[in-house]
């Protein structure tokens, strides 16, 4: 979804390149050295690079071919950091991961796609592996702003861009129903201050 929107953003090359606070919190909480990590929707790769700098073995995927080609060229000699252009809602099962990381990507897909991603994750995580998610929930300041999406009550188009606002409590129950153990879950400000704004986001760390 919104592939052209993100391609235009990345063409401008003015987005943040430092690792997110979320990625930094993950490496403070978990020892990722030697661990297999997959990042769903890596954007300009800043968090994937952060995990690789912490000695993880990282596969980072995004739908934007322009960004992925740039990253593949830049990191072609780094065996532990692989970038792939694909749709993370349609991943095939394979060798299991220790950690699945999704920052600001779950709200860019439909609820049905979210269910597919969570089911794929539980099948493709090692026992004890972690799912780390940061996304827009219904306490986010722009919830219900924009044009409603037909048949998706919590999704809106704003500035030509799709966003679905996740119900935090229902989402936590859904994770538990699928088989995850929630280790940390919060919906609050302070997670992702950006350009002087400090919006409310949800952050969840769950294990299999």
Ligand X SMILES: C[S@@+](CC[C@H](N)C(=O)[O-])C[C@H]1O[C@@H](n2cnc3c(N)ncnc32)[C@H](O)[C@@H]1O
- Which residues form the interface with ligand X (CB under 6 A)? 1, 6, 20, 41-43, 46, 61-64, 87-89, 103-105, 108-109
Task: Provide, rounded to whole angstroms, the least separation between the CB of residue 44 and ligand X.
Answer: 6
CA gap 205, 2 in Å, rounded: 26
| Nearer to ligand X (CB atom), residue 42 or residue 52 | 42
SS3 62: strand
Sheet holding 147-149, edge to edge: 147-149, 152-158, 161-164
Report the DSSP beta bridge partners of residue 204.
133, 185
Task: Provide, rounded to whole angstroms, the least separation between the CB of residue 47 and ligand X.
Answer: 6
Task: Provide, rounded to whole angstroms, the least separation between the CB of residue 100 and ligand X.
Answer: 12
- Of 207, 134, 127, nearest to 175 by C-alpha is 207
| Nearer to ligand X (CB atom), residue 10 or residue 185 | 10
| Nearer to ligand X (CB atom), residue 123 or residue 173 | 123
CA gap 97, 72 in Å, rounded: 21
Task: Provide, rounded to whole angstroms, the least separation between the CB of residue 200 and ligand X.
Answer: 16
| Nearer to ligand X (CB atom), residue 39 or residue 98 | 39
CA gap 83, 38 in Å, rounded: 10
């Amino acid at each position: 979804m919104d592939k052209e929107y993100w391609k235009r953003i990345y063409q401008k090359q003015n987005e943040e390149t430092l690792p997110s606070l979320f990625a930094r919190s993950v490496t403070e909480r978990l020892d990722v050295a030697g661990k297999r990590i997959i990042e769903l929707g890596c954007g300009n790769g800043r968090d994937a690079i952060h995990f690789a700098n912490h000695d993880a073995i990282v596969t980072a995927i995004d739908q934007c071919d322009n960004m992925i080609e740039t990253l593949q060229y830049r990191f072609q000699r780094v065996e532990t950091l692989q970038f792939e252009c694909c749709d993370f809602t349609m991943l095939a099962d394979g060798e299991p991961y220790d950690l699945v990381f999704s920052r600001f990507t779950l709200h860019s897909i439909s609820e049905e796609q979210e269910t597919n991603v969570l089911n794929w994750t539980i099948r493709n995580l090692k026992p004890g592996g972690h799912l780390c998610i940061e996304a827009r929930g219904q306490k986010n300041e722009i919830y219900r702003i924009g044009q409603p999406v037909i048949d998706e009550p919590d999704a809106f188009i704003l500035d030509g861009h799709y966003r679905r606002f996740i119900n935090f409590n229902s989402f936590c129950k859904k994770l538990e129903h699928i088989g995850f153990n929630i280790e940390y879950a919060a919906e609050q400000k302070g997670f992702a201050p950006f350009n002087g704004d400090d919006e409310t986001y949800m952050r969840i760390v769950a294990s299999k």
